[in-house]
Amino acid sequence: MNVIDLRSDTVTLPSPQMREAIHHAELGDDVFGEDPTVNRLEEMAAVRVGKEAALLVVSGTMGNLVSVLTHCGRGDEIILGDLAHTFIYEAGGTAALGGIHPHTVPNQPDGTLRVQDIEAAIRPDNVHFPRTRLICLENTHNRCGGAALTPEYTAQVAGLARRRGLALHLDGARIFNAAVALNVDVKELTRDVDSVSFCLSKGLAAPVGSVICGSKDFVAQARRNRKIVGGGMRQAGIIAAAGIVALETMIDRIQEDHDNARRFARAVAGIAGLSVDLGRVQTNIVYFDVTRERPCAEELAKKLTSRGLKILSTGPNRLRAVTHYGISAQDIDRALSILADVCRAV
């Protein structure tokens, strides 16, 4: 059975061009700074997002961890959304390894944090409190349905950070999805942040890797912190080669994923027993709800899997579908017919 997997854009397989590039990659020891393919990827990534330097890391999780460790010391505090990936899904790494205290403020449904909430969360200089050092934003926002934060909003938060002597980090795992959805150059979304980490996997479909970008000094310190967490890789050009192809060939096609997500969501809205907020479908992530008592989301996901459609259950009544490279408009139509069939039968 040909399975359609919409659980996540992390399930993408490398393109033929990536496999070819991996095969022919020129390699060296990257911990000595001698892997030409890694060096090329890092230069390309920095230029692409308008920063001085970049650092290849294993994953989005490591990108955020190393960035936060570089901005903060033990006992410092970060302000981030209560639905932030870093807060919920990164195993508490910043606290576990960095002794860095998370201070959450509510994420709004559009992925933003209210500027007044951030301001209120900044600690006064008082011996009782941790020291606030960093604000973290996420763009696009995973748990907020792939919402894209605008350049104007990012600039507003950056203005606050600057006024209060704080740094601003952007979890840009899907920053190119945001740029495509907003029809802006990605630099507009990264211009005002001190650091950004973005994924070469996910929307860009490389098999492994994320990149941290920032000033030369920041990246030099991040390189040391990457070593501390065991993330120094040797002939990492094997990974970087696919990352270069990802940056060269995978950004413009993201629109297709967004179109497919929209097509999927529109049809889900018409299936009895399901509901979706179409106004929230901006990029490649669609959250939708089961409105009947039974089956719950998990049962429905199991039934769908047995019919060849994988969708993630993310709560008692909530499901998530993510479009990505390798999923065509025809796959979406087939997915919808399986979904409609299964919902009709229950």
- Helix H, strand E, coil C: the string for 238-301 is HHHHHHHHHHHHCCCCHHHHHHHHHHHHHHHCCCCCEECCHHHCCCCEEEEEECCCCCCHHHHH
SS3 123: coil
What is the distance between the alpha carbons of residues 27 and 303, in angstroms, rounded to a whole number?
46
d(CA 149, CA 111): 7
DSSP character at residue 113: B
| CA dihedral for 158, 187, 181, 250, sign (positive or negative) | negative
The secondary structure of residue 307, as a DSSP letter, is T
Q: Which of the stretches 53-61, 181-189, 213-221, 229-237 binds ligand PLP when contact is defined by CB under 6 A?
A: 53-61
Site string for ligand PLP, 283-322 (x = CB under 6 A): ----------------------------------------
* Residue with Cβ nearer ligand PLP (10 or 221): 10
Site for ligand PLP in 147-176 (CB under 6 A): 171, 173
**Residue 280 in the binding site for ligand PLP (CB under 6 A):** no
- Tell me which residue has its CB nearest to ligand PLP: 60
Q: Which of 61, 225, 282, 317 binds ligand PLP (CB under 6 A)?
A: 61
The helix-helix angle for 16-24 and 237-249 (nearest 10°) equals 140
Scan residues 202-221 and list those touching ligand PLP (CB under 6 A): 210
**Judged by CB under 6 A, which stretch of 56-64, 118-126, 128-136, 146-154 contacts ligand PLP?**
56-64
* Residues making up the chain, counted from first to last: 346
Q: How far is the CB of 143 from ligand PLP (least distance, A)?
A: 8
The whole-angstrom separation of Cα 89 and Cα 107 is 15
The reply to whether 42 sits near ligand PLP by the rule CB under 6 A is no
CB of 67 to ligand PLP, least distance (A): 11
75 or 92, CB closer to ligand PLP? 92
Q: Does 85 bind ligand PLP (CB under 6 A)?
A: yes
Which residue has tokens 């039968």?
345
Contact status: 199 vs ligand PLP (CB under 6 A): yes
67 binds ligand PLP (CB under 6 A): no
Residues that bind ligand PLP (CB under 6 A): 10, 59-61, 85, 138, 142, 171, 173, 199, 201, 210
